[in-house]
Each structure stands twice: as C-alpha cells, then as structure tokens.
Structure 1
C-alpha cells in the first residue's frame, strides 16, 4: 500500500540523542553485544543461530563520592541481564554474559573500573523456541524513514565532537529544538573529575564544549543547564550510572541512532533480539533500509515504511506493508511499482541480514 502526501517542512521539530555512555545506551549496547556473541557461539557449535532474546538489561546506579581531581566508589553500579537464551556448550552462559557485558562497559566508559554483572538469563519457552524455524516470533511493528534532515544529522554529528573535548565523559545527551529558523540545543555532558581541579576548570570545560558546538552550528546552546553553585555534573567515571541514573534496554535511541518524536517511531527495543526471526529487530532494519532506497527515487522528498508482522507467519509476508511518500508530485504508476519492488526485495533479503547482525555491523542504538 502506497500513500502520497505533499511535502511540507515542519514549523518546529524535536530531536534527541543519548550518547555512548548514557545509561540507556549502555543497556542497549550490552544487550546487542551479548546477542552478537551468542549468535557467533551458536554458529560455531550448531551451524545455526538458536533461540535467544536478551533485550531486558537493567543498569542500577551505584554511589560515588566525587571531588575536584578525583573521588571514590562507595557502591558500584549493577548491570542485571534478563532474557531467554539456549545455553551454549563451549562456555557457561552466565560467564559468557559477564565477559561480554564487562567488555562493552569498559570499552564504552573508559574511566569505569568498578561494577557488578548479575545474569538472570534462562532457557526460553518451548513455544517461542519452536518458532525459530517456522516464522515471526512476535506480532510487532517496524518503521523506517529517510532521509535524515539537517537537524537530525547535526545531533548525530555532535556527540563525537563533544566527547573530543578534554574532560568530557561518554555520558552525553543532546536535545535539539528547532522553532522556525532558530535552533536551541540543550546539552548534558558528564565531566570527569580527574581532569578538573577547581570550579574554574569545570566551567572552562563547559565553555569549551559550547564553543565546539558553535563551530559547526549557529544556535542557542546551554551546557549542563541544571548546574547550581555546588550541584554540578561532575563524575568520577564519565557516566551517571555511577550514582545519578539507571538505564534500561529500549528506553534510548531508535535504530536511526536518534529519538525523533516528530517522525514515526517503533517503541520496540531493537537491541538484544535474535537476528533470525525476531521481527522487533529485523523489521525496523528492513523498513529503514527500504526507506533510504525509496528516498533516492527522483521526486521523493521523504519516504516512510511501516511493516507489521503476525506471529508464526513467514517474515516475507507481513500483515501490513505500507509506504508513505512525500513530495511535490505523486509518482507515476511505474514508479509506484518500483517502490513496491524495493520493499519486496528488502523483505526477501532478510536472511542475508543475519551475517551483518552477527558481525555487529548494523546500528541498533
């Protein structure tokens, strides 16, 4: 089904990204890293990917005492991994989860040294396990849109620039609000205590972050807007999981790497779901890729793809397959057939996505 609407720029928009060390992004990253490692194990041991979904990671914040120049951990954060998985034969399941979770945490938050990992993953139900070879394991929604607009591209770009400032931690959050031509950016950045010896140093880091943003965009920029005289975003590790905030899989960025409430979004947690028949992951990737290809067709300003599965049905036969096109002129019949063919081709190529998932090449957060 194809629907055509005339393209009309938004009068205002809101775009958000939670950075690499944000608690929710960390939970997503751990979920996906475990799924990737399980998939590799399964392929090596059994020649196929077995049932699993580890998309229920919760990070509970710890407690620290932080001061300029350093600090200490009072109670480390705890990462609780829930979900279902078939136990591999070559390594204890809990040990695998602890190893992979630790690797991801340490790679993502380089000043994090103390934490706990609590694995509560158990075998899946026979009904869901049996669906691995029969069809979709859930009735779920996948959505995708293209292209990214300038505000969305900016928000994606800013994270790496911000983290490049000396003293900035990995826990960042950028909220962009555009009203007409005016752009407002509210930015939160965990400042690492060992890089700042005084309040003056802290303010200098904030100002350097602000200047770094203004080098690439003309906007009203507020950095760590909640700071008071003594209550500031100063951290030992560079992430608020040390004391300030908890995290959970699925509460952060969508598959685009952004949170875009002005665009269609699925509330599915993409990270940690198996790449063989879990449509909560697969359909979001397929919809996004199809939308990007459709958006390249002449006359298409924006493309939106929506896919809805039916549990047990073949993944190539969604309950709903819909495309919304926005442009100045409705595509001709032959172009509409081309658009339908794009969606069909991406659905038929679902099996080819497994290799990319296992290689960790597909963005899920």
Structure 2
C-alpha cells in the first residue's frame, strides 16, 4: 500500500484572501525561452532514444542560459549588433549498444526550430549556441540499465500542485496567451512576444501591470508609439472586462472582479527611444535581459506568490525517472482530478515526495490537503485516496505523455 495521507486544511481559499499576487512571463521572455527550448530538446531527445534503442536513456538537459546580445535600436527599424548566446548544459547519453547519438546537433537543431516557430523577428541562425552537455555519472546512468519496469527515482525531490486556479491566476494566464496569440499578432504585428503580466488583486480590485515591447520597424515616431500604445491598452482592457464578466457568473456569490490595466509604465513622453519600450526583435534578450531555466513560470504556467510551489525546474528533465519533473506535473494532475471528481471540495493541494532509487510510483508520501465547501475531509477521504492511487498506478502512461510533450511545463 502506498503511503497516502488525507487531511483537512483550515484556511480560506486563495481567491477569498485579501491580497493575491500572480505573475506570468510570456512567450518571448528570456526565462520562458530557456524553459521552452530545453523542454523541446527533452521531447526530441526522448523520441530519438525511443526510435533508436526502444527505451529512454539517461539525460537531464535542464541547465540552460540565454545571454543577452546587443542591438542598435532605431525608429523605423534597428539592427542586431551582437547576437544572443544560448548555453545548453547538463547530462546526456551519447552512445549505447555501439550506436552514437549526436546530441549536440539535435540540441542546436531543436533550438533553431523553436525560435523559428515562435519568435517572428529573431533569426535562429544569428545566435551563438554553446553546448555544455557531458556524460552522466555511473550510478545515475545505471538506473536505466537495471531492467525495472518502473524506474527508480534519480533524485530525492518534493513537489506540490493544486486546483483549481483562482480567477486572478486564470486572468493573468489568459491575458498573456491572448496577447501572444496568432490572431492578436496578425492584427498587431508591432506587438513583441516578450509579454509579462503581473496581477495584483486587493479584495475585488484586480490590477494588471503589462509589459509588451513594440517592434521598432513598425514604429516611425515617438508620437506613433504612444498612439499605438493607447490602442493596445484599450484592447487589453476590453479583454480583461470580458474575462471579469465571465468570472462574475462563475463566482457570483463570492466576488465581483473589477480589473484595471497599466501598460509599459516606464514610458516617459519626450525622451525619444530612452522613454519608450521598443525592441528590434520582440524580446528583451536582444540587449536588456538574460534568461535561465527555472526562473520563469511554474509548470501550470504562472508564478503564484500566494501558493506553495516546488523549487525544481521541470523543463528539460528526464520524463521517466526524474521526479523533479514527473512529480511536479503529476501533483497538479492529481489535484485537478480530485477537485473535479470528488464532491464538496473547494480547493486541494497535493504533495509528493520521492526517495532516490525507489520506484517513482512509490513516493515516500503522497498527501492531499483539502479545503471543504461543506462537510469534512474525513467524509471524502476514501474517494480522494482512490484518485491518488489510480494516478500513481498509471504513472508510466503519464510519463509517456511527458515524453510526447503533451504536458506543457511553462
């Protein structure tokens, strides 16, 4: 029997708390870029191992850094002076059964394809790629050679997930997704991908501070910048107002959300390029800000400051043995299933702790903390435990979803 513990949490739900702070770093943010690329390398390398050897071998490509370059900004169109540098590091298996895998080539090719697919104004050929991948240690590599159906954990690692998202968390997440949607970019091609949304809720008032650069080739003058900024600001306000209307219907008895928006608050008219937020490429990684794996969104796509979160960076980790990845995502999956399948639960937190070497379906402990709408946790304890047992029993199938890239990590 697995060590499953169910307890009742005597605390207000996050959306009932007086103050809530939520952040999301968007598609073109340097930290998001690092997480997304390392994860795509993980997916592609897993696929290569499966095709070549019939199983996934040891790797963890979860150490990455994007070093900012240098540009010369100019209204009407600037230029890149010095390219960005992407450092890809940690461990991988380069050879097995007498067959070699060109991991560096795969890593660079994956990076270039991701940039081409997601960053409209970044030339993937105009980056420096520094590969710092080494062979894994003997003991960790041996985990994959022991013939076990379910691999042992390659780390002692803790994770926590929760459900449901609060209205503020949903709004911050959906706002960035809206601003970086293909439809929005088609309508406003001058809007850069480096979108950051910070949400502050004080009681029922939600204020979003949004940063989104304008690509300078589309901006002919300072006057044109501020005119376009007003238009973009209005569109964001329209979006948040529509979201709030839906939230009022869902939580009518609890709260009436009142959103407001600020956009590019560092701007100062009359200072030329020094007083407006423009980029050459749509990302601040061109000259203002570097990126690093693990500094961006948690695996549910936001940085929720009111919630407990894992310190592990899931992006790029091995999806069949590294619990820093598997448990991070699985804890949210279990929490979501408990919330949707068990009645009278208002909020749920799921904690998972692995022990290195122990099969990943046998955590040291699996705990669910329940905030009840009515009744007590003891009344639903059996149902909650059954959901947790089922999810842990199916951990291999879940790992294969991670292998296929079906579960976003940022």
TM-score normalised by the chain length of structure 1: 0.96
2:266 to 201, 214, 226: 226
**1:227 Cα deviation (Å)?**
2.1
**1:354 Cα deviation (Å)?**
2.8
What does residue 303 of structure 2 align with? Answer: 259
1:124-273 map, 5 Å? 124-132=136-144, 133=146, 134-163=151-180, 164=184, 165-217=188-240, 218-228=258-268, 229-230=271-272, 231=274, 232-273=276-317
What does residue 37 of structure 1 align with? Answer: 44
* Structure 2 gap ranges (5+): 241-257
SS across alignment from 2:160: strand
Larger CA deviation: 338-347 vs 132-141: 132-141
SS across alignment from 2:213: strand
Q: Deviations over 1:3-54 (max 9, x none)?
A: 2134521111001000011000000011101111110110011000000000
Q: Deviations over 1:299-343 (max 9, x none)?
A: 100010000111111112111211110023344645211101111
8 Å CA contact 1:162–1:209 kept in 2: the answer is no
**1:181 Cα deviation (Å)?**
1.1
Larger CA deviation: 43-52 vs 348-357: 348-357
Alignment length (residue pairs): 365
What does residue 253 of structure 2 align with? Answer: none
What does residue 249 of structure 2 align with? Answer: none
Q: Deviations over 1:339-365 (max 9, x none)?
A: 011111111111102321222111100
The whole-number CA distance in structure 1 between the counterparts of 2:198 and 2:119 is 21
The whole-number CA distance in structure 1 between the counterparts of 2:322 and 2:218 is 44
8 Å CA contact 1:7–1:327 kept in 2: the answer is no
8 Å CA contact 1:7–1:301 kept in 2: the answer is no
8 Å CA contact 2:8–2:377 kept in 1: the answer is no
The whole-number CA distance in structure 2 between the counterparts of 1:5 and 1:206 is 45
Q: Does 1:120 align with 2:132?
A: yes
Q: Deviations over 1:138-184 (max 9, x none)?
A: 01111110011111111111113223133111111000000011111
8 Å CA contact 2:162–2:336 kept in 1: the answer is yes
1:1-365 map, 5 Å? 1-6=5-10, 8=12, 9-87=16-94, 89=99, 91-113=101-123, 114-132=126-144, 133=146, 134-163=151-180, 164=184, 165-217=188-240, 218-228=258-268, 229-230=271-272, 231=274, 232-296=276-340, 297-331=342-376, 333=378, 335-365=380-410
The whole-number CA distance in structure 1 between the counterparts of 2:409 and 2:228 is 30
8 Å CA contact 1:28–1:250 kept in 2: the answer is yes
Q: Deviations over 1:114-139 (max 9, x none)?
A: 21111111111111111235500001
**1:191 Cα deviation (Å)?**
1.3
* Structure 1 gap ranges (5+): none
TM-score normalised by the chain length of structure 2: 0.86
8 Å CA contact 1:306–1:321 kept in 2: the answer is yes
SS across alignment from 1:121: strand
